[in-house]
Amino acid sequence: MEDLASDIKLKHLSIPSTVSTSTDSIDIDSVSTQQTGSKAWLDQILSEQGVAEITEGVLSSVKSEKKLLNTLITNGCIASTKIYLVNRAEKSPIIVAIMELGKNIESHPNVVHGGFSATLVDNCLGVLAFQLYKFPVTKTLNLCYKKPIHPGQTVVVVSRVKESDDPQAKSSLQSDRCTLISEILSLDQELLLSAEAVFVDISARIEK
């Protein structure tokens, strides 16, 4: 996890909301120490080169009553979000999503439902997959729940292409499929959930 998190140095310490909800902004500096713990890793600012905020583009692409991510945002399940694309020279891109969770997503008291957490990860992995393919879909998704996630908590979802087991290959990226990995982290870099998924590009089948 340390290698994964060390690659990600978030660009903003104050993260304004991109949707109209009950919470107008995520201001990391104003959050209590009890909630954030040590946020030193967030204080490492992303280098200017290769970093782009893509929140508006992602949200506009799901701005439909039929899209689940849009439903979660408009109903306040996700109070606020920022999404960044990290392009790295000679390496696959990384997606970093910072999300303030809403209040109506519990399973047990004060614990986010595992299915909701899975939905967050699947959507973030999908954002990454669309950077790689024309029409990617989830084939498999495996999750490992590490620690409880709480309603109202601000989390960071980091998604990337999995490195290949083949020493001759740099990653698992193939012409029509790839294996992606994702982690949900707290603001103090605590691992809450890890996931691995296979995405397949079905654009050739659709065009036929």
CATH assignment at residue 25: 3.10.129.10
Could you tell me what percent of the chain has a pLDDT over 90? 50
Range of the domain at 185: 2-207
Count CB-CB contacts under 10 A for residue 40: 9
Number of domains in the chain: 1
The pLDDT of residue 188 is: 84
The pLDDT of residue 41 is: 59
Q: 31 or 104, which is more confident?
A: 104
Residue 164: half-sphere exposure toward Cβ, Cα within 13 Å: 13
What is the chain's alpha carbon radius of gyration, rounded to the nearest angstrom?
Answer: 17
SS3 content of the chain, % helix, strand, coil (to 5): 25, 35, 40
The pLDDT of residue 67 is: 87
Instruction: State the Cα–Cα distance between residues 198 and 188, nearest whole angstrom.
Output: 29
Could you tell me what percent of the chain has a pLDDT over 70? 73
Question: Is the model's pLDDT at 76 over the cut of 70?
Answer: yes
The pLDDT of residue 38 is: 56
C-alpha dihedral sign at 151, 8, 24, 119: negative
The pLDDT of residue 167 is: 67
pLDDT tens per residue across span 91-148: 889 999 999 999 889 999 999 999 999 999 999 999 999 999 999 999 999 999 999 9
Taking the whole predicted model, whether its pTM rises above 0.85 is answered as no
Q: 146 or 10, which is more confident?
A: 146
pLDDT tens per residue across span 137-196: 999 999 999 999 999 999 999 999 998 777 666 677 898 999 999 999 998 889 999 999
Q: What is the dihedral of CA 88, 89, 91, 96, to 10 degrees?
A: 0
